[in-house]
Structure 1
Amino acid sequence: MSQSLRRGLALLTELAEGPRNLDQLAEAVGVHKSTAMRLLRSLEADRFVKRSDTHHYRLGSALFELADRALDEIDVRDTARPHLLELGESTGHTVHLAVRENDQVVYVDKVDSTHAVRMYSRVGARAPLHCTAVGKVLLSELEPVQRRELVTALDRPALTDSTITDPAELLAELDRVSRSGYAVDRGEHEDFVHCIAAGVRDPRGEIVAAVSLSTPKVLLDLDGLLGLTGELSHTCDRVSFELGWQPQDH
């Protein structure tokens, strides 16, 4: 790495802590003020830094544009895959990774159950938002007004006797999901299967995917399934951390 590039990156790192004047930047990087000024002018020309006033510099818009592009390039599926395999191995149950696409969820990865009795599903399949645990998690991420609008607009067919079709009841369920950090499908999508799910967060803290554990009721009762919520949440936290998310109390 060239000396000028190293110094330019050092200036950007220093500015990440907040606005600095020329003297502070030159001292932090260990160069003469004239050298710091030359580097800053180059960075300013390409919008990597900007002057917040006559004497102070701060990070510029080009740096944030690059950061956004870098975040968009992160593949949630590739990042999550080893953690999904570990969760599947430790629990023995079916694991799904899902994302929201308009008014449906799309399963983008799956780890099969180790049990002889399994639920049928496939990568690429779509499912409703209102009656799946992953769908509830992805809906719960929306702002309250947007959440209400989408729930009201959704088709909410009763796929089983347990499906929540009333919008007010569904919104109350989503509030519970938002507070607890996980969702439950109590045989609402398929009456012989129940499921729990939690969210995967990106560096901005937004839920971009959901991970679920699903099992036929004959293999595990609801209390037993709910007993796995801690392990599920821990898996989601590890995936989120690898994606760049930092908990608020970190």
Structure 2
Amino acid sequence: MGQGTQSIDRAAELLSLVIHAPTAVTYTELVETTGLARSTVSRLLAALERNGLLERDPEGAFRGGAMFTHYATRFDRVESLVAVAQPYLERIGEHTGETVNLGVPRGDTVVHVAQVDSRYVVGATSWVDVDVPPHCSALGKVMYAFDAIPLPDGPLPRCTSASLPDRSALLRELERIRERGFAETSGEFEEGLDAVAAPVRGADGLVHAAIGVSGPTFRLEGEHEELGALVVAESERLSRALAKLG
């Protein structure tokens, strides 16, 4: 085992001991439990503390750091969002019969966090864990248009012949989305698949999520304007509900 790997394993052991302990753990307790040299424990604890993985309580004992708090808070927010959004998703699903998704930004992509399934056999697809380039997705286009995720720097991958060809085309599309209030795709990720999506704003007025409807082109073609108006209306209602919750 290399020195670097050994250091990582030892740091992970210290971190695990602190995180799983019912109360804050002292430096002496960590030395005694691990059997590591005091200098090694001191060095590793300092590194973990410096990177926000651990912090000290007023007595100097160690507990989980700000990074864990941030992580937990972020996912608590997502769970709260899903709980509030569910009736809005279901109402869209009842009206359209199509698959309805709630997506949130994560890094430079979009993650599906809730779904109402299509009542049709053709079109009943789970989008959880499906990796869709944002520029080929109605949800992703919404996130780009309202600055929820950063614009791509390099060439855009072409999933189909209908995919946006380059950054200039994407920028023109995003301007159109901001004017209309919703995004649409038609065969851009997969031939025969259409979608529309609209932004969901938080109490701060920023876009934190998007609601999208997707289904086969033969059902959705020619219905984008009507679907867009529906999704915008429900997204705005959800945004108002989130604003009241603060």
Q: TM-score range by the shorter chain?
A: 0.5 to 0.7
- Is the counterpart of residue 218 in structure 1 residue 223 in structure 2? no
**Corresponding position of 1:16:** none
Q: Contact between 1:187 and 1:193, CA under 8 Å: does it hold in 2?
A: yes
Q: Contact between 2:186 and 2:192, CA under 8 Å: does it hold in 1?
A: no
Residues in 1 aligned to 2:170 and 2:244: alpha-carbon distance in whole angstroms: 28
**Corresponding position of 2:170:** 170
Provide TM-score, normalisation by structure 2: 0.64
Alignment of 1:26-65 (within 5 A): none
Q: Could you tell me how far 1:245 is from its partner in structure 2?
A: 6.5
**Corresponding position of 1:239:** 238
**Corresponding position of 1:84:** 89
Q: Contact between 2:197 and 2:210, CA under 8 Å: does it hold in 1?
A: yes
Q: Could you tell me how far 1:116 is from its partner in structure 2?
A: 2.2
Residues in 2 aligned to 1:159 and 1:205: alpha-carbon distance in whole angstroms: 33
- Find the partner of 1:141 among 124, 143, 146: 146
Q: Contact between 2:102 and 2:209, CA under 8 Å: does it hold in 1?
A: yes
Q: 3-state SS of the aligned residue for 1:218?
A: helix
**Corresponding position of 1:106:** 111
Alignment of 1:8-19 (within 5 A): none
Q: 3-state SS of the aligned residue for 1:195?
A: strand
**Corresponding position of 1:180:** 180
User: Tell me, which stretches of 5 or more residues in structure 2 are unaligned?
Assistant: 1-72
Q: Contact between 2:193 and 2:217, CA under 8 Å: does it hold in 1?
A: yes
Q: 3-state SS of the aligned residue for 1:125?
A: coil
Shift in alpha-carbon separation, 1:157–1:95, aligned structure 2, 3 A? same
Q: Contact between 1:106 and 1:127, CA under 8 Å: does it hold in 2?
A: no
Q: Could you tell me how far 1:101 is from its partner in structure 2?
A: 1.3
Q: Contact between 1:77 and 1:109, CA under 8 Å: does it hold in 2?
A: yes
**Corresponding position of 1:123:** 128
Letter in 2 for 1:113: S
Residues in 1 aligned to 2:111 and 2:215: alpha-carbon distance in whole angstroms: 19
Residues in 1 aligned to 2:244 and 2:163: alpha-carbon distance in whole angstroms: 33
Alignment of 1:197-216 (within 5 A): 197-216=197-216
Shift in alpha-carbon separation, 1:142–1:218, aligned structure 2, 3 A? same
Q: Which deviations, in whole Å up to 9, do the C-alpha atoms of 1:91-149 show, x marking residues without a partner?
A: 11110111121222111111111112114233343321111000000111129xx95xx
The count of residues paired between Structure 1 and Structure 2 equals 171
Q: Which deviations, in whole Å up to 9, do the C-alpha atoms of 1:152-172 show, x marking residues without a partner?
A: 24x521001100131111111
Q: Could you tell me how far 1:180 is from its partner in structure 2?
A: 1.3
Q: Could you tell me how far 1:73 is from its partner in structure 2?
A: 4.3
Residues in 1 aligned to 2:135 and 2:220: alpha-carbon distance in whole angstroms: 23
Q: Could you tell me how far 1:90 is from its partner in structure 2?
A: 1.2
Identity %: 34
Q: Contact between 2:100 and 2:117, CA under 8 Å: does it hold in 1?
A: yes
Letter in 1 for 2:223: G
Letter in 2 for 1:231: L
Q: Contact between 1:200 and 1:240, CA under 8 Å: does it hold in 2?
A: yes
User: Tell me, which stretches of 5 or more residues in structure 1 are unaligned?
Assistant: 1-68
Q: Contact between 2:200 and 2:238, CA under 8 Å: does it hold in 1?
A: yes
Residues in 2 aligned to 1:119 and 1:161: alpha-carbon distance in whole angstroms: 24
**Corresponding position of 1:97:** 102
- Is the counterpart of residue 191 in structure 1 residue 191 in structure 2? yes
